[in-house]
Chains A and B, each alone.
Chain A
Amino acid sequence: MSTHRSRRIGRRTAERLLRDAPGHAQVTGHDRLGDLLAAAAAPARDRELTGEHAAMAAFRDARLAPAPQRRRPRMLKIALANLVTVKIAAVAAAAAGGIALAAAAGTLPGQQREEPAPAADTDVVATTSVTTTEKSKAPDKKPDNSASPSPSLHGLCQAYTARAEHGKAHENPALSALITAAGGPDQVPAFCADLLGDKPGKPDAPGKPDTPGKSDQAPGKPSRSNR
């Protein structure tokens, strides 16, 4: 009589049914529901696997054209991150110096900025100061990617040097600009040695006419807006 009439399903019973359906749990009083769930979770039928061929083909294709696609953006990001780091460091140094000077001259009463500010703060300060200089120097340049290659190349050289140790530098598409600037893959090490050796840590010092091949560019433009 009561074999067909399900009792109300409590939480624990429900969990058992949900969890054990594939193994077909016999939960007393819920045979039919158990059967139903077991049927829903029954083993695969052949017609459910008709897409196997296509899936395998997709798998093969994916193996033939593997990871680089996904990696590229990340490498680019690393290169850009290097740039940003270098610039922030340099600008921070400049800004801290400027502030110290200003403080010494008494123009900053009450400002507790004497000690080197943390990167985040410095960033703000730096951006403004840099923008002003930049404006005066190169008024009608677009603010984005057209920035002078000088600081970019510096960062790219760093990225290149870092990657060169792993023997993968040439594969990075983000470095193609660098290779072009250097005049070929073979020239890059010498080019970067020059660039990095000439001005360690001060990529954006204004007026750097001895930068190889770059003397005609407006040199100090560190605030190229990255992304």
Chain B
Amino acid sequence: MQSAAGFGDSGEISGVAWSSRRSSARKSTADTAEDVLAAARGGDENAFRSLYRDVQPKLLRYLQVLVGTDAEDVASDAWLQIARDLGSFRGDVDGFRGWATTIARNRALDHLRRQQRRPVVHGTVEDVAEPAGPEDTAQAAVDSVGTDAALALIAGLPRDQAEAVLLRVVVGLDAKAAAKVLGKRPGAVRTAAHRGLRTLAAQLDASSPPGPTPPE
């Protein structure tokens, strides 16, 4: 159940340590964002809606890589729980993002367990990019620079690398927060993300467009 190393979905447990390390990066909006979070916790619907609009696309893209086409359903489950437990969440906006991601991930893992099948990581690539090798997917990603194509390429990575890259790039967590979501050490998550980037870079290189093709 609690595969995320014991800090489950309860805001009380996970709330304490969910604090920001990056708030200075968003100094200008930090205050208002915190205000929005506080208002949402106080029951303000508009505030909750802004939280949803900020976080949902991130969760959905992350979930897409974990559960493929079931991402929407899993995200809905996650939001039910987020809405229910928001009152007991303690932390700032960055913390909220990590907390919500943890909930989404736990729901995704539950879902996978129920389905009794392995993560759809590889299936996703094929779903989105037809029967194609990584090179073609990479080419599509470069050509259209489409979000789906990019996600599909990332989804083709080994799962730990894909998760690490997505949590950092798409969800916007720092290494420590991502590690907390994954129940791993920050160093391990950093390494996985770096490996993922190198693999992606190699795939992009391999799919270099025709033209001034580099030697070799």
A interface residue numbers (CB < 8 A to B) = 1-2, 4-6, 8-9, 11, 14-15, 17-19, 21-22, 30, 32-33, 35-45, 48-52, 54-56, 58-63, 66-67, 70
Contact = CB atoms under 8 A, between A and B. Distances in A.
B76 A21 contact: no
Interface stretch (B30-38, B114-122, B140-148): B140-148
7 contacts: A6-B201, A11-B190, A17-B197, A19-B168, A30-B201, A32-B204, A55-B82
Nearest to B60: A48
Contacts, number: 140
A163 to B, nearest CB: 21
Interface residues of B, number: 55
B147 A33 contact: no
Nearest to A60: B45
B147 A58 contact: no
Contacts of A2: 214
Contacts of B93: none
A58 B80 CA distance: 6
Nearest to B71: A48
A32 B209 CA distance: 11
The dominant DSSP class at the B interface is helix
Contacts of A15: 190
A41 B169 contact: yes
Given A22-B172, A41-B169, A58 B79 contact: yes
B76 A39 contact: no
Interface of B: 12, 43, 45, 48-49, 52-53, 56-57, 60-61, 72, 75-76, 79-80, 82-84, 86-88, 141-142, 145-147, 149-151, 153-154, 165-166, 168-170, 172, 174, 190, 193-194, 197-198, 200-202, 204-205, 208-209, 212-215
Contact of B150 (A22, A30, A36): A36
Which of B79, B151, B201, B213 has the largest count of A CB atoms less than 10 A from its CB? B201
A6 B204 contact: yes
Nearest to A39: B150
B57 A45 contact: yes
B56 A48 contact: yes
Contacts of A5: 205, 208, 214
A59 B83 contact: yes
A36 B150 CA distance: 6
B68 to A, nearest CB: 15
A136 B94 CA distance: 60
